[in-house]
Amino acid sequence: QVQLVQSGAEVKKPGASVKVSCKASGYTFSNHGMGWVRQAPGQGLEWMGWINNYNGDTNYAQKFHDRVTITTDTSTRTVYMELRTLRYDDTAVYYCARGSSWSTPYYMDAWGKGTTVTVSS
Amino acid sequence: DIVMTQSPDSLALSLGERATINCKSSQSVLNSSNNKNYLAWYQQKPGQPPKVVIYWASTRESGVPDRFSGSGSGTDFTLTISSLQAEDVAVYYCQQYYSTPLLTFGGGTKVEI
């Protein structure tokens, strides 16, 4: 079965960076891209960006484009999301989510359990 | 960006009642070349990640009970739960993928018993 296993919770200081990992199993990795979605406490879902696991192409939401980098390691079937220059309002649960297509994200048909990132001094 | 607006913000119903959740997009998400609406619905139960229930506006995801249905076209969409069950308590989100790879979600609708 499809599984997306994310790395553990992180606590970071303002201005620091965080790198969250998402290890995929149970399907052909290159047949599906991976997106990242975050959810601040008590808030809704926010799209951050996407990586095509077939060719490595990335696309980022305008809000994050200068602070986020998504990478993929096809040898370990792991996708990474790095967010830099953390602010207090980056405190959120960060989800990786498998796209329904290899070429572009349509809808997300499998989700990781989420990684809590807390930004605190 | 395509803005997705959901209504109501929350609704409280009795077991067995019909739940109707609305989602409006700021521009059409209907692709005229394939006649598909690029819209999905997700269910998020407390403490869990979201789960897709409907995609292409009206296609039920495998394993989703048939009391869930999606309808609408263009800019106006509806998720209906025909007979509310206790396990349906959740927040429901719509999401457009017309402007893929730039996706946007609605603000969510909380369904309570």
Name every chain A residue with its beta carbon within 8 A of the beta carbon of B44.
45
- The gap from C-alpha A4 to its chain's centroid, in whole angstroms, comes to 11
Closest A-chain CA to B48: A113
User: B102 vs A100: CB contact, 8 Å cut-off?
Assistant: no
B21-65: pLDDT as tens digits: 999 999 999 999 999 999 999 999 999 999 999 999 999 999 999
Backbone angles phi, psi at B75, to 5 degrees: -120, -10
* Helical (H) or strand (E) element with A116: strand A115-119
Contact status of B110 with chain A (Cβ, < 8 Å): no
- Distance CA(B57)–CA(B48), nearest Å, equals 23
Stretch A72-76: mean pLDDT: 95
Which residue bears the tokens 């359990």? Answer: A113
The residues near B42 (Cβ < 8 Å, ≥ 6 apart) are A45, A108, B50, B51, B52, B53, B92, B93, B94, B95
DSSP A9-20: PEEE-TT--EEE
A98-121: pLDDT as tens digits: 999 888 889 999 999 999 999 999
